[in-house]
Chains A and B, each alone.
Chain A
Amino acid sequence: MQQLCLGIESTAHTLGLGLVDSAGKALADVRRTYRPTTGGIHPREAARMMASHAGEALRASFSESGASPNDLSLVSFSQGPGLGPCLRTGATLARSISSYLGVPLIGVNHCVAHIEVGRKYGDSFDPVVLYVSGGSTQVISYAGGFYRIFGETEDIAVGNLLDSFAREAGLGFPGGPEVERLSSSGKEVVDLPYTVKGMNVSFSGLLTRTKGMITTHRLEDICLSLQETAFSMLVEVSERAMAFLRKDDLLLVGGVGVNGRLREMCRTMCEERGASFCTVEPKLCLDNGVMIALTGILARSVGDETPVARSGVRPKWRVDRTRVAWRAGGAGS
Chain B
Amino acid sequence: MRLELIRDLYLGAEAEISLCDWLGYKVVVKRRRPKGYRMRELDRKIIATRTTHEALMLSRARGKGVLTPFVLHVNPVEGIIVMQYIEGPTVSELASKSPLAELRPVFEGIGRSLAILHRNRIAHGDPTTSNMILRGEGVFIVDFGLASQPSEVEQMGEDLYVLEMALKSAHHARSRELFRHFVSGYRGELGDASSAILKRLVEISRRGRYVERVS
The residues of A with any CB-CB pair to B shorter than 8 Å are 144-146, 149, 152, 189, 191, 194, 197-198, 228-229, 232, 235-236, 239-240, 242-244, 264-266, 268-269, 271-273, 318, 320-321, 323
In chain B, what residue has the closest Cβ to A229? Answer: B42
**Contacts A228-B38, A243-B13; is A194 near B46 (CB within 8 Å)?**
yes
Residues from chain A with Cβ under 8 Å of B38 in the complex: 228, 232, 235, 265
Taking A239-B13, A240-B14, A266-B37 as contacts, is the C-beta distance between A228 and B42 under 8 angstroms? yes
- A293 CB to closest chain B CB (Å) equals 26
The answer to the question of B41 belonging to the interface, with a C-beta cut-off of 8 Å to chain A, is yes
- Chain A residue numbers with a CB within 8 Å of B146 are 197-198
* Of the residues A189, A271, A320, contact of B39 by C-beta under 8 Å: A189
- CB < 8 Å neighbour of B42 from A149, A197, A232, A266: A232
Closest Cβ–Cβ distance, residue B64 to chain A (whole Å):
23
What mask results when residues 183 to 215 of chain B are scored 1 for a CB within 8 Å of chain A, else 0?
000000000000000000000000011000101
Residues of chain B contacted by A323 (CB below 8 angstroms): 215
Q: Which of B35, B41, B208 has the most CB of A within 10 A?
A: B35
Bound CA span A149–B212, Å: 11
Q: Is the CB of A198 within 8 A of B39?
A: no
Complex Cα–Cα for A232 and B34 (A): 12
The CA of A197 and the CA of B213, in the complex, are separated in Å by: 24
A265 touches B215 (CB 8 A): no
Q: Which residues of A contact B35 (CB under 8 A)?
A: 232, 235-236, 269, 272
Please state if A320 and B37 are interface contacts (CB–CB under 8 Å): no
Contacts of A244 in B (CB 8 A): 13
Q: Measured between C-beta atoms, what is the minimum distance from A193 to chain B in Å?
A: 12
Could you list which residues of chain B lie within 8 angstroms of chain A, going by C-beta atoms?
12-14, 35-39, 41-42, 45-46, 125-126, 146, 208-209, 213, 215
- Decide: A232 near B37, CB < 8 A? Known: A146-B213, A318-B209: yes
Sort A-B residue pairs by CB-CB distance and give the 9 closest, nearest first.
A145-B215, A243-B13, A265-B37, A268-B37, A240-B13, A269-B37, A239-B13, A232-B38, A268-B36
Tell me which residues across on chain B come within 8 A of A235, comparing CB atoms: 35, 37-38
Q: List 17 A-B contacts (CB under 8 A).
A: A189-B39, A189-B41, A194-B42, A228-B38, A232-B37, A235-B37, A239-B13, A240-B14, A243-B13, A244-B13, A264-B37, A266-B37, A268-B36, A268-B37, A269-B36, A269-B37, A320-B209
**Which of A264, A268, A318 is within 8 Å of B208, CB to CB?**
A318
Asked whether, in the complex, the Cβ of A320 is within 8 Å of the Cβ of B42, the reply is no
Asked whether, in the complex, the Cβ of A228 is within 8 Å of the Cβ of B213, the reply is: no
Cα distance A132–B42 in the bound complex, in angstroms? 22
User: How near does chain B come to A234, taking the closest CB pair, in angstroms?
Assistant: 10
Query: In the complex the two chains form, what is the Cα distance from A141 to B13 in whole Å?
Result: 17
Chain B contact residues, majority secondary structure: loop
A323, B107: Cα distance in complex, Å: 37
Which one, A152, A266, A272, contacts B209 given CB within 8 A?
A152
**CA–CA, A51 to B37, complex, Å?**
43
**New A-B contacts (16) at CB < 8 Å, excluding given A198-B125, A273-B13:** A144-B215, A145-B215, A152-B209, A198-B146, A228-B38, A228-B39, A229-B42, A235-B35, A236-B13, A239-B14, A243-B12, A265-B37, A272-B35, A272-B37, A320-B213, A323-B215
- Bound complex: CA of A152 vs CA of B215, how far in Å? 22
Distance to closest chain A CB from B164 (angstroms): 15
Q: In the docked arrangement, what's the CA distance between A235 and B146, Å?
A: 17
A191 CA / B39 CA spacing, docked (Å)? 12
**Pairwise interchain contact B13-A198, C-beta atoms closer than 8 A:** no
B162 to chain A, nearest CB (A): 9
- Closest Cβ of chain B to A22, distance in Å, is 26
Chain A residues with Cβ under 8 A from B209's Cβ?
149, 152, 318, 320
- A130 to B: closest C-beta gap in Å: 13
Question: A191 contacts B37, CB within 8 Å?
Answer: no
**Which residue of the partner chain A has the closest CB to B125?**
A198
**CB-defined contacts of B46 to chain A, threshold 8 Å:** 194, 232
- Write the nearest CB–CB distance from A304 to chain B, whole angstroms: 15
Contacts of A229 in B (CB 8 A): 42
Please, how many angstroms separate the alpha-carbon atoms of A318 and B210 in the complex? Answer: 12
Q: Which residues of B contact A243 (CB under 8 A)?
A: 12-13
B34 to chain A: closest residue by CB: A272
Q: How far is the CA of A264 from the CA of B14 in the complex (A)?
A: 19
A273 to B12: give the CA distance in the assembly, Å. 11
Max chain A CB contacts within 10 Å: which of B36, B41, B215?
A: B215
Give A299 to B38 CA distance when docked, in angstroms.
39
